[in-house]
Structure 1
Amino acid sequence: MTYLELSAWFVGAAVIAAIVLSLIAGRRRARLGAIALTLLALVILTAVFDTLMIATGLFHYSPAHLLGVHIGLAPLEDFAYPIAGAILLPALWAVLRARRGRRDAEGTS
Structure 2
Amino acid sequence: MTIQSPVPDAVVCGDDLIVLGALGQLRRAGVDVPGHTRVTGFDGTVLSTIVEESLTTIKQPLEQITAAAIDALLNRIAGDRPDTHLDAQLIPNLQPGSTTASEWVTSVRRPQST
Higher relative contact order (CA 8 A, sep 6+): 1
Structure with the largest fraction of strand: 2
Normalised to the residue count of structure 1, the TM-score between the two structures is: 0.29
Structure with the largest fraction of helix: 1
Normalised to the residue count of structure 2, the TM-score between the two structures is: 0.28
